[in-house]
Structure 1
Amino acid sequence: MTNTEISVTPPPPAAPERKPDPCIVVIFGASGDLTKRKLLPALYHLEQGNLLPSEIAVVGVARRPLEQSFPPDMKEGVIAGGGVEKDDPKLDPFISKVSYHAMNFDDPKGYDSLKAVLSGIDEKFGTKGNRLFYLATAPEYFSDIIKLLGEHGMSKPTSDRTWVRTIIEKPFGHDLESARALNDEVNKVFDEDQIFRIDHYLGKETVQNILVFRFANSIFENVWNRNYIDHVEITAAESIGIEGRGPFYEGAGALRDVVQNHVMEVLSFIAMEPPVSFEASAVRAEKVKVWRAIQPIAPEHAIRGQYGPSTINGKPAAGYREEDRVSPTSQTETYAALKLEIENWRWAGVPFYIRAGKRMTKRLTEITIMFKQPPLRLFKKEGTSEHIEPNFISMRIQPDDGITLRFGAKVPGPSMDISAVDMDFSYADAFGPSSNNGYERLLLDAMLGDATLFAHRDGVEATWALITPILENWKKTPLSDLPNYPAGSWGPATSDALLKADGRKWRKL
């Protein structure tokens, strides 16, 4: 395999960003890992970039009494998780605006005291009554928090010059019925333009770059369709297991945890039509069209797997059923693969193969656009059916963010030998390393009221409508051969058979 080097033109000076209005970011479930590892480092990265207003405050809300330890703990998280130096001059002033309020999420009195606390912070820091409520709790608390915010007059702006918004973490429901019910509950309290259903994958630069790659570069549009593309592969693989989250994963599984949200969002960016603008409503409309054009998924096109015990790098690796707080007879899938067909003019006849799993060979999220072979194979070796490898575009979301284009080139010499050549673009090489974790863009957009990278209720329900019949079928038809792939492999043999039936195979990653 030959690699080519790509020169990168230095980007023009960045356009000045519009700063959000003064506001308080209220994080429910702030004692959890997400706040310390991701949310506070992301907010501080925005502060470092002069993207936050000076009149801002952060209030953590959870049940445990952490009033004294919360700010220094968050400072530690910013340093450890955000790549920030201890003596950064902006750090202590930022942490001075971080506070904590202890309350039970289902206690009405707690919301009265929270309302008073936020009013006091408005006076102290000049945050002007604007609120961003972030629900980083377990899903079972979403309904109580939303309902009680409404009952205590905290869900609506106090004037025409103020705003209130809420970010709701995934999972948003566990099937179509529960997602609809939760949407109805939330919409009783908040208007749809106040609701930001978050998927952190959409905060990743490489996911957003799919839209730029497609719609800012005219050279690809003519071949981005059924006439030139043979099939599309999307892989979301984790090398780790469930990391002690047995109870959560037993109720989720790979299909709910990764495919219904992350993978479906990535698929929509690959398959959507050009929106009329980059406004939230236009982008969301095109995404929903893709999901609604996907045909019902046949049972034989939905593969499930569960990792079993194995040896990885000379060390024993437990199987899923041996993990802490997992049933020894669990039917929960740690691997899911689907074949999807999008019935529209652009994609008719082009299969989309997606797979997601735990305890796989390596950690990566990658999209492969595999092109058709030339109609006449001029360069096959004499006396054989061998021919050059098909062209493809590979988009790496993580960990080595970038794009690879593979094509054939003649090997120097007297014979017409062909070699595959890679043109490789690396984000780190082109733009330098980054300590951003993806939440920066999403938090900033929510404060600005830009919902482009957030899910609308129509999109949530459209993806659940595709996934729920599979979940129901799997529940009715348990497998007797689980576990069916060893930890550290690329999944069960049935996944390979899914593509083999179409005369294809997963690209080697």
Structure 2
Amino acid sequence: MVSRVIPVDPFDLVLFGGTGDLARRKILPGLFHRFAVGQMPQDARIICTARSAMDRAAFIELTRSSLLKFASAAKENSSALESFLQTIDYVQVDAAGQDGWDALSKALRPDMVRAFYLSVSPSLFGPIAHKLNNHGIATPQSRIVVEKPFGHDLESAKALNADLRGNFEEHQIYRIDHYLGKETVQNLMALRFANSLWEPLWNSTHVDHVQITVAESLGVEGRGEYYDRSGAMRDMVQNHLMQLLCLTAMEPPSRFTPDAVRDEKVKVIEALEPVDQSDIVRGQYRAQGEEGSYHDHSGNPQSRTESFVAIKVNIGNWRWAGTPFYLRTGKKLRARSSEIAIVFRDPPHMIFPKMEGRRGNAMIIRLQPDEGITLRNTIKEPGPGGFRLTEVSMDMTFADALDQHAEPQDAYERLIMDVIRGDQTLFMRGDEVEAAWAWADPLIEGWQDAGRTPAPYDPGGSGPEDALMLLHREGRRWREIMA
């Protein structure tokens, strides 16, 4: 099956932070891939900006080397690479000062969709938004894209939203969370709301509990200073895992429109019950062999910042009352793996002999590394000699099922094209961000007030022992993080 590529209209995309790591590794390679398959039109233009003094030719060579390194198709399709480079321009702009804004204004075309991608420090979001408005660069058809973190707490998130809304309307603001661009995350909505098979079972009557895991095998090397100010709660739970929770638990929207979908996500966050500190486990990886510890990588030997967190969450509504959601994320774990596991209740009356180690029915939605869905079922073990039960899995790996073994579309590619189309479905709304912080802040304040040190755990495992007990004490167990 070949994916249909629907071209977008011509546009001008201004990339602030065009020489930065995210631009080089993700944004420009993603745009090139969309260009190479014909979704980005030939007359689209990308205007990259940064403080660095260089001419267009020097920036083109920098971009060429980045694409050859980070975009595999660039090596195979030299003609597409050269054509794509023709769409790129460079303007030196001081985002915090006054230099370069008039030159940027002159570089843009009138009567064209303008998208401003802010791949810069969050401290520059407000100043850039103001200057775009003040210099007449922003138009009613403009869109502004901001990367996380969307604030450090509720107060800073409100201030950031106020800065953005003071210069752009909410329908022009795109708060990008790359997790929402993953194919399987979007398929979660299709699975639930396009099939009559699953939605009747998607509630506390049939679901025992839900596990949401985002495990990473790497540590915080290279970004220790940032991470030590953030921690796993702010870096992952408040945004990425919260989004997965919302999409898993939300009610069916009245229609598939951006605001209808986001209305239902906000309702989930507002229905979250307060979390007791006994339902939170924080951990910090320690040194093992020649591998350094979190303290080594963060440069802070006294740090109490968590590199792992597991939380039991309850949703106070009719659909999910009595069904806990367990969220787990961490650094230096056994493998890089992200999944949502819907674990169903056992039949009300089991007529067969008890099977040792039986785990029951479950639907595992894999987000990475191999996107797909697995259904775990109980069947009779083949062969004579009695009626014995065993478990088998029905696996659907998307690449196999849809005959798509080519390089998968990166989340950034999909989301940037959604910006150009003006589709905000997969982007966070301002009230959604604030609601998530309103839930997260008391949890963070609670463990800070308690002054407890995160539990140490060895790299290459599943996290602290206390995280296992979070489920074991209720007769449940985490799914293994598989390498």
CA distance in 2, matches of 1:149, 1:253: 32
Find 1:169's aligned residue among 141, 147, 153.
147
Superposed counterparts of 1:260-275, under 5 Å? 260-275=238-253
Find 2:128's aligned residue among 140, 145, 162.
145
Letter in 2 for 1:196: Y
Find 2:104's aligned residue among 111, 114, 118.
114
Residues 69-116 of structure 1, C-alpha deviations (whole Å, 9 max, x = no match): 322222233333222143432221110121212222111233223212
Contact 1:380 1:388 in 2 (8 A): no
CA distance in 2, matches of 1:29, 1:43: 15
Residues 381-435 of structure 1, C-alpha deviations (whole Å, 9 max, x = no match): 4xxx847431100011000111110011101223110010100011222232324
Contact 1:233 1:353 in 2 (8 A): yes
1:411 aligns with 2:381: yes
The residue that corresponds to 1:4 in the other structure is none
Contact 1:23 1:128 in 2 (8 A): no
Deviation of the 1:374 alpha carbon: 1.3
SS at match of 1:409: strand
The residue that corresponds to 1:76 in the other structure is 65
Letter in 2 for 1:419: T
Residues 209-260 of structure 1, C-alpha deviations (whole Å, 9 max, x = no match): 1111111121111111111100000000000001311111011111111111
CA distance in 1, matches of 2:476, 2:444: 26
The residue that corresponds to 2:276 in the other structure is 298
Contact 2:113 2:420 in 1 (8 A): no
Letter in 2 for 1:154: I
SS at match of 2:73: coil
Q: Under a length normalisation based on structure 1, what TM-score does the superposition of the two structures give?
A: 0.90
Superposed counterparts of 1:165-314, under 5 Å? 165-311=143-289
The runs of at least 4 consecutive aligned structure 1 residues that moved more than 6 Å come to none
CA distance in 1, matches of 2:45, 2:79: 18
CA distance in 1, matches of 2:395, 2:155: 44
Q: Under a length normalisation based on structure 2, what TM-score does the superposition of the two structures give?
A: 0.95
CA distance in 1, matches of 2:12, 2:447: 44
CA distance in 1, matches of 2:197, 2:113: 44
CA distance in 1, matches of 2:310, 2:455: 15
Letter in 2 for 1:427: F
CA root-mean-square deviation? 1.7
The residue that corresponds to 1:353 in the other structure is 326
Residues 157-201 of structure 1, C-alpha deviations (whole Å, 9 max, x = no match): 3xxxxx111000001101111001110111010000110000001
Deviation of the 1:62 alpha carbon: 1.2
Letter in 2 for 1:74: T
SS at match of 2:227: helix
Deviates more, 1:81-90 or 1:191-200: 81-90
Deviation of the 1:483 alpha carbon: 5.3
Change (3 A) 1:85 1:146: closer
Letter in 2 for 1:321: H
SS at match of 2:171: helix
Deviates more, 1:103-112 or 1:325-334: 103-112
The residue that corresponds to 2:47 in the other structure is 59
SS at match of 1:452: coil
Deviation of the 1:46 alpha carbon: 1.4
CA distance in 2, matches of 1:387, 1:105: 59
Contact 1:294 1:342 in 2 (8 A): yes
CA distance in 1, matches of 2:353, 2:356: 5
Find 2:296's aligned residue among 317, 322, 335.
322
Contact 1:379 1:387 in 2 (8 A): no
SS at match of 2:138: coil
SS at match of 2:48: strand
The residue that corresponds to 1:6 in the other structure is none
SS at match of 2:198: helix
Deviation of the 1:267 alpha carbon: 1.0
The residue that corresponds to 1:160 in the other structure is none
The residue that corresponds to 1:5 in the other structure is none
1:334 aligns with 2:307: yes
Contact 2:67 2:74 in 1 (8 A): no
Letter in 1 for 2:14: V
CA distance in 1, matches of 2:113, 2:53: 26
Deviation of the 1:489 alpha carbon: 1.6
